[in-house]
Structure 1
Amino acid sequence: MDLQTRPFRSVLYIPGSKDRALDKARSLPVDAIIFDLEDAVSPGEKPAARETLAEALASGGYGNRTRIVRINGLDTEWGEADARAAEAMDCDVLLLPKVESPEQLDALAKLTTKPLWAMMETPRGMLNAAAIGAHPQLCGMVMGTNDLAKELSTRFRADRLPMITSLSLCLLAAKATGCVIVDGVYNAFKDEGGLKAECDQGRDMGFDGKTLIHPAQVDIANAAFAPSEAEIDTAKRQIAAFEDAEAAGQGVAVVDGKIVENLHVVTARSILAKADAIAEMAR
């Protein structure tokens, strides 16, 4: 699977400096891991964290999970060294924090040939989402909702109304350019009902998955962002009905009292492809 066909239902942050966490991540049923050299690592640990992470990735054991390394910003004293070190690591993607312009991605692209993801977590980043999403080396976006909430001075609301414009701008940018886009974290990791509601909202909006801060959140995210059995069944029946209609010289079919056109078949095939990709991940 390439990065565009892999599932990204659950994307778990792991500190790049913690051997125990790095080892435990090998056994978790997540679709992707963000190995963090930025916020999760204290300034004094950052140089050693690069070596710890490089050794863990070289040892392998992460299966077909997408391995994403979040470096420090290039405007910090650690960013360039992080990027050069990550270029040599056995990882799939480099994730740059606080991206506000495509020029920041240009600077990182000079240091690595790996695919890039962008943390979208500032007002300027929201306003420049379309230009950022169009960068030729970019293939994914991650919503940094904690930093964004701080920058916007919003209050927490279960419906995330203060965030909707920002989330939507990034979604539009990602969908327009074919980028993966994953939703921000849910901080109350023991609140399963709240997490499920936010996952359902993100899935309904069009996000590919959710970033997570605790292994206890994985199962809920995996379920929320996977096609349900009912969706899979409907997709199969839509495809079959449309193919029968085409064979009869008709351009539309009817399933469950609803019109099925070619655009619905495209969506149905996408649902089945995602289900197949998830099944492959579980092997």
Structure 2
Amino acid sequence: MSNASLRPRRSVLYMPGANERALEKAKTIPADALILDLEDAVAPDAKADARKRVAAAAASGEYGYRELTIRVNGPGTPWHTDDLRAAAEAGPDAVVVPKVDSAQTVREVEFALQAAGAPDRTAIWAMVETPRAMLDARHIAAASERLTVLVMGTNDLAKELHAEHVAGRAPLLTGLSLALLAARETGKAILDGVYNDVKDLEGFEAECVQGRQFGFDGKTLIHPAQVEPCNRVFAPSDEQIERSRRIIDAFEEAAREGRGVVTVDGRMIENLHVEDARRILALAEAVSGR
């Protein structure tokens, strides 16, 4: 399975699987991806009905360009096995697995999906949200080619650390950095965690900017109002696009002329800058198709 690392995942919105109206509304929300949730958003006595509803939605083909995923209940819960089986039969773009603490958990999920007949295109997204997961992130990310995305569970991580939720997220920066290093070393995509105050769009946008600066591919969201600013922040800016074009043009011209030194805007350009410029333009092209 190839990792579509440049597939836009700027905005990834959780939608409660028990709420039929929410699942219908999700068809019109301009999020890059949806997580149809069977875990936190669903009460225990509603999980069986939600499972059927979410599986039908995932198999419907009615969500357009949106990457469609199902978040199952975590390993060790009474619903985990049935959730995986239903998700495998529905064949979403990915199955989001919470509380992934080890490479062994990834392998067990992969085996269960294969045994239930999941199509090859159904990836695994692993939620890393505990101290153990942060310290084992590299092994988790490398555990399977079917695993394509790491998802930060920042609320659970803060709880496990006994940390406070503060602007700038200083208590979480070590964990965020460890997971980012693991994702980039293994060629996986990685999504930042949620922002809890849905009314504080200014604080939310500031955290989006921080996540983009860190290197996250996008952010998980809990409210449709967060989609627009998230899409804007995580998309390449006009300035980035223009500079990327200048870098590539200057580098290619220098190569044709046999020059070994290239400068753009007074700065020396190397292969690594050209590779990043090409990545930015590819992402911009993918985003423009939305």
Q: Secondary structure at the match of 1:181?
A: strand
> Match for residue 48 of structure 1?
49
Q: Unaligned regions of 5+ residues in structure 2, if any?
A: 115-121
How far is the alpha carbon of 1:251 from its aligned partner? Answer: 2.2
Q: Secondary structure at the match of 2:252?
A: helix
How far is the alpha carbon of 1:2 from its aligned partner? Answer: 6.5
**1:122 paired residue among 109, 130, 155:** 130
> Match for residue 93 of structure 2?
92
Letter in 2 for 1:25: A
> Match for residue 60 of structure 2?
59
Deviations 1:24-76 (CA, angstroms, capped at 9, x unpaired): 11011110001110011100001111111122223322112111111011201
Are the aligned partners of 2:59 and 2:90 in contact in 1 as well (CA < 8 Å)?
yes
Deviations 1:162-186 (CA, angstroms, capped at 9, x unpaired): 0000000000000011111000000
> Match for residue 220 of structure 2?
211
> Match for residue 110 of structure 2?
109
How far is the alpha carbon of 1:17 from its aligned partner? Answer: 1.3
Are the aligned partners of 2:58 and 2:69 in contact in 1 as well (CA < 8 Å)?
no
TM-score (norm 2): 0.94
Letter in 1 for 2:228: D
Identical residues among aligned pairs (%):
52
Write the distance in 1 (CA, Å) between the matches of 2:55 and 2:108: 22
> Match for residue 13 of structure 2?
12
Q: Unaligned regions of 5+ residues in structure 1, if any?
A: none
Runs of 4+ in 1 over 6 A off after TM superposition: none
Are the aligned partners of 1:252 and 1:262 in contact in 2 as well (CA < 8 Å)?
no
Report whether the alignment pairs 1:151 with 2:154: no
**1:260 paired residue among 248, 269, 283:** 269
Q: Secondary structure at the match of 1:60?
A: coil
**1:176 paired residue among 182, 185, 190:** 185
Q: Secondary structure at the match of 2:49?
A: helix
Deviations 1:201-244 (CA, angstroms, capped at 9, x unpaired): 00000000000000000011001110000000000011111111
How far is the alpha carbon of 1:141 from its aligned partner? Answer: 0.5
Q: CA RMSD in A?
A: 1.2
How far is the alpha carbon of 1:3 from its aligned partner? Answer: 3.1
TM-score (norm 1): 0.97
Letter in 1 for 2:223: H
Letter in 2 for 1:124: R
Letter in 1 for 2:126: A
Letter in 1 for 2:19: K
Write the distance in 2 (CA, Å) between the matches of 1:227 and 1:52: 36
Are the aligned partners of 1:50 and 1:85 in contact in 2 as well (CA < 8 Å)?
yes
Are the aligned partners of 2:16 and 2:23 in contact in 1 as well (CA < 8 Å)?
yes
Write the distance in 2 (CA, Å) between the matches of 1:181 and 1:262: 24
How far is the alpha carbon of 1:4 from its aligned partner? Answer: 2.3
